[in-house]
Chains A and B, each alone.
Chain A
Amino acid sequence: MKTAADTFDVMKIREDFPILHREVHRKPLVYLDNAATTQKPRQVIDAVSAYYSEINSNIHRGVHYLSEKATHAYEEARKTVQHFINAPSPEEIIFVRGTTEGINLVASSYGRQNIGEGDEIIVSAMEHHSNIVPWQMLCEEKKAKLCVIPINDEGEIIFEEFEKMLGKRTKLIAVTHVSNAIGTVNEIKKITAMAQQAGVPVLVDGAQAVPHLKTDVQNLGCDFYVFSGHKIYGPTGIGVLYGRRKLLERMPPWQGGGDMILSVTFDKTVFNALPYKFEAGTPHIAGATGLAAALDYVSRTGLEKISGHEQQLLSYATEKLLLLKGLRIIGTAKHKAAVVSFVIEGIHPHDIGTLADREGVAIRTGHHCAQPVMERFHVPATSRASFAFYNTTGEIDVLVSALEKIIHLFS
């Protein structure tokens, strides 16, 4: 039987990504830092370039031709996002700078309005700093408490502990869909089901999930879903906050300015309707059109095929890496995205990163903006190889051979 991955032509995909054909230190680039940011296909680069060279203009206010074209492109991009994550309506899609800004928007607006002294916000122990710090700041301001769901040795949420934590004081749950540091895919539906019973809204950090898994916010049952364009082959500086209309409508604006108002006098300002209420100032129009091009590219390729190919890369890399002397993988959840975080006995991750780079291999080393995860596994840092649909098993072989040389150098 033919599987989805069999019909996936990775070499053809690679042709669309100009940067993958360059060299680094006179070696072919092997880009395995996709959890940090992904490379861009020509279709995205062209969309951004076409925006600036053909229709650049400000939106929502001009009556001239270009302004109408630009407004149309921006609003079409919103619909593309809506369909991509199966949100009920385009008004529930708020363009932001990225995941971090999306979370901060919810913390500032929903959080300030609904969280008070003695209330509790629940996060997991595998969150990125961006899904910890905004909540910490809010808790500090409101004298609320941040509760942390522990994770087991494999890097999975301990649901018994979550259940115990979820109580009358819980006002919000903020959890990542996929861990950037160790790759765990969380059971979001189980979390939202439990939260719904308790009447608590759930924010999901989808930065690491949308490029790899088919995301359906209605099926997930979450109240807020946030992701960044640049992690799904789109431009930097553009991201998305999805929120349930009922919640967004009740939330106050978080930034004031142009575009988010209906009328302004010095006595009173009337705020605009969704989604503009949350989009003060001229947005990243070019970014939105680039993001739409990226989502179209992913949709055309098919997330099922992408996921199939990436899972093959994950198993191949896991198997090959474990053969290396002294190498230990951090994060061994049953359900993982294509991320392998590892440590090698006696060699600091930063030395591994610098030496791998000289072989043309780009991996991330450090704490991956998830210091609590590092602490949980008692390591100061890890090396992390994170894969995208344009990576090949051949590239994993280059990584493995670079690591062999490094281990030899340090022996």
Chain B
Amino acid sequence: MSEASELYQQVILDHNKNPRNYGDLPSHTHSSEGYNPLCGDHYHVYLIMDGDTIKDIHFAGTGCAISKASASVMTTLLKGKTRAQAEDLFKQFHDLVTSPVEQTPDEDALGKLAVFAGVREYPSRVKCASLAWHTMKAAVDKNGQAVSTE
């Protein structure tokens, strides 16, 4: 399964199996719920904001390996970042998964996010990969409001 392993890289499989920052964050200040009706991916994202800084971030829920790994990697990247930095990372991520397949991603700039480059080849899975990011943004911008990928 050589081609498939481009999408299901070890990092993704690992984060799927052992998701980081998983579970409720009882003292959260911001939260949102994200749902992908097409495939049933369903997550909550919880944040503790200290002014403009993300002091802590967790997620919980169920979904496919791509959506779960993406949520998990996102939490590891956003802890300690400012709102503006978070939005910038979201933009980088979004640009990556929607960029043309022929375009070689800048792995150095993208860091950990680069493992999601394989998603570009599977248009139906881009929503899976983006769900947690949209949910995070909704939590920060419109605390408490749910988002849907539809």
Contacts and interface: CB of A to CB of B under 8 A. Distances in A.
B contact residues, range: 20 to 34
B38 A348 contact: no
Q: Which 9 A-B pairs have the closest CB atoms?
A: A348-B64, A380-B40, A350-B64, A358-B4, A351-B65, A355-B4, A351-B64, A350-B39, A381-B40
Contacts of B64: 348-351
A25 B7 CA distance: 14
A366 interface: yes
A381 B64 CA distance: 10
B36 to A, nearest CB: 10
B7 A354 contact: yes
A344 B54 CA distance: 37
A29 to B, nearest CB: 16
Given A350-B125, A409-B8, A366 B40 contact: yes
Given A354-B7, A381-B40, A409 B128 contact: no
Contacts of B40: 366-367, 374, 380-381
A405 B1 contact: yes
B1 A409 contact: yes
B38 A366 contact: yes
Contact of B62 (A347, A366, A367, A380): A380
Interface in B1-40: 1, 3-5, 7-8, 13, 16-17, 38-40
Interface in A354-388: 354-355, 358-359, 365-367, 374, 380-381
A348 B1 contact: no
A410 B38 contact: no
Nearest to A371: B40
Interface in A389-411: 405, 409-410
Contacts of A374: 40
17 contacts: A25-B3, A347-B65, A348-B63, A350-B125, A351-B64, A354-B4, A354-B7, A355-B1, A358-B1, A366-B39, A380-B40, A380-B62, A381-B39, A381-B40, A409-B8, A410-B16, A410-B17
A25 B6 CA distance: 14
Contacts of B17: 410
A249 B8 CA distance: 58
Contacts of B8: 351, 355, 409
A25 B64 CA distance: 22
Contact of B13 (A366, A367, A409): A409
Interface in A322-353: 347-351
Interface string B100-132: 000000000000000000000010010010000
B74 interface: no
B66 interface: yes
A351 B17 CA distance: 13
Contacts of A351: 8, 64-66
B9 to A, nearest CB: 11
A351 B69 CA distance: 12
Nearest to A408: B1
B127 to A, nearest CB: 10
Contacts of A355: 1, 4, 8
Interface string A1-43: 0000000000000000000000001000000000000000000
A358 B3 contact: yes
B99 to A, nearest CB: 19
A117 to B, nearest CB: 32
A350 B3 CA distance: 17
B113 to A, nearest CB: 20
Which of B16, B42, B62 is most buried by chain A, counting CB atoms within 10 A of its CB?
B16
A381 B7 CA distance: 21
